[in-house]
Amino acid sequence: MKRDLLSAGELSRDEAVLILDTAEELAGLTERPIKKLPTLRGRTVVNLFFEDSTRTRISFEAAAKRLSADVLNFSAKGSSVSKGESLKDTALTLEAMGADGVVIRHSASGAPHRLATWVRGSVINAGDGAHEHPTQALLDAFTMRRHLGRLEGLRVTIVGDVLHSRVARSNVLLLSTLAAETTLVAPPTLLPVAVETWPCAVSYDLDSVLPKTDVVMMLRVQAERMNASYFPTVREYSRRYRLDAARMAQLPDDAIVMHPGPMNRGVEIAAEVADSARSTIVEQVANGVTVRMAVLYLLLGGAKA
């Protein structure tokens, strides 16, 4: 393994499979009454969150604690960042506190890469702007493999606000490495420029793709990142791109429905679909802890022990 996990795109097939297999081994632990291993005892993991988060931050905290690491939580609100402290000075402060691992979420694409040049510990990207979110892609792949038994040849359809989605980019890159076939479905205004260079297919028509889909992943419409109007009305968007019960019925029998959360119920996904037996949304959250344990274990648990 490399020292850092900055991008899903930089993982080799062997590294990605090692993370998924390690997570599979650790999964047994989360089902035990005492969910703790001594593996990272004495190590310090800092959660550095410059952007809001519920599940990702708590997930990393739970993962580090289950491996017995000490966890320091930092959020930009209420810190010296609001006094104008730079990322570099914040990084040097962490370095002085002896962080072995730094988990960072930041609104600027590339912030984790910069941080990695300033600190000695392992840096894990927990979402940088609209760029990447590698552990989300890993937990999604883990969830798909658990349900459908394989990733190779799996037909994965990712639907919605691809333009603002680091989850979509990381998934496309990782799934391509793992030989799944990905199709992005979105209105043209919500697709990034140069999407034709991504290792996936693109469609504007959800209804024609669903019958040939093993996994449908719905993306949140990210209103907070939108500074212009990307579609006429929410109603119009939902009419064409929301996964409702009628659309879900077009999926093959064993297909699953995913969403990274947080959901806009009723906008990109109907409540009855989110709560249906095909939905893996709650399971994705549980798998997130397991997969992040695997990542922390592989990055921090090695040679220095």
| Interacting residues with ligand NCD (CB under 6 A) | 55-56, 127, 133, 136, 166-167, 220, 222, 260-261
Q: How far apart are CA 41 and CA 37, in angstroms?
A: 9
Give whichever of 44 and 284 is closer to ligand NCD, judged by the CB atom: 284
Cβ-contact 40, 293 below 8 angstroms: no
Q: How far apart are CA 96 and CA 92, in angstroms?
A: 6
Look at the block and give the residue holding tokens 């320091």: 72
| 90 classed as catalytic | no
Q: How far apart are CA 87 and CA 114, in angstroms?
A: 9
Give whichever of 110 and 118 is closer to ligand NCD, judged by the CB atom: 110
| 83 classed as catalytic | yes
Give alpha helix (H) positions in 54-99: 55-66, 87-96
Contacts of 122 (CB under 8 A, 6+ apart): 3, 4, 5, 100, 101, 102, 299, 300
Smallest gap from Cβ 224 to ligand NCD, in A, equals 9
Give whichever of 43 and 259 is closer to ligand NCD, judged by the CB atom: 259
| 56 classed as catalytic | yes
Smallest gap from Cβ 38 to ligand NCD, in A, equals 29
* Helix/strand/coil for 269: strand
| 13 classed as catalytic | no
Give whichever of 222 and 250 is closer to ligand NCD, judged by the CB atom: 222
Q: How far apart are CA 157 and CA 303, in angstroms?
A: 39
Of 32, 77, 83, 304, which one is the catalytic site residue? 83
* Helix/strand/coil for 109: coil
Please give the residue whose beta carbon sits closest to ligand NCD in the complex.
Answer: 220
| Sheet architecture: strand order including 201-203 | 201-203, 181-185, 155-159, 215-218, 256-258
Of 57, 66, 106, 133, which one is the catalytic site residue? 133
Give whichever of 43 and 220 is closer to ligand NCD, judged by the CB atom: 220
Of 22, 56, 90, 182, which one is the catalytic site residue? 56
Residue 121 main-chain phi, psi, to 5 deg: -70, 175
Cβ-contact 159, 251 below 8 angstroms: no
Q: How far apart are CA 58 and CA 50, in angstroms?
A: 14
Strand duo 155-159 + 122-128: pairing: unpaired
Of 3, 35, 55, 113, which one is the catalytic site residue? 55
Looking at the chain, how many residues does it have? 305
Smallest gap from Cβ 136 to ligand NCD, in A, equals 5
Smallest gap from Cβ 107 to ligand NCD, in A, equals 10
Q: How far apart are CA 36 and CA 63, in angstroms?
A: 9
Smallest gap from Cβ 220 to ligand NCD, in A, equals 3
Of 66, 105, 131, 292, which one is the catalytic site residue? 105
Give whichever of 43 and 164 is closer to ligand NCD, judged by the CB atom: 164
Catalytic machinery residues: 55-56, 83, 105, 133
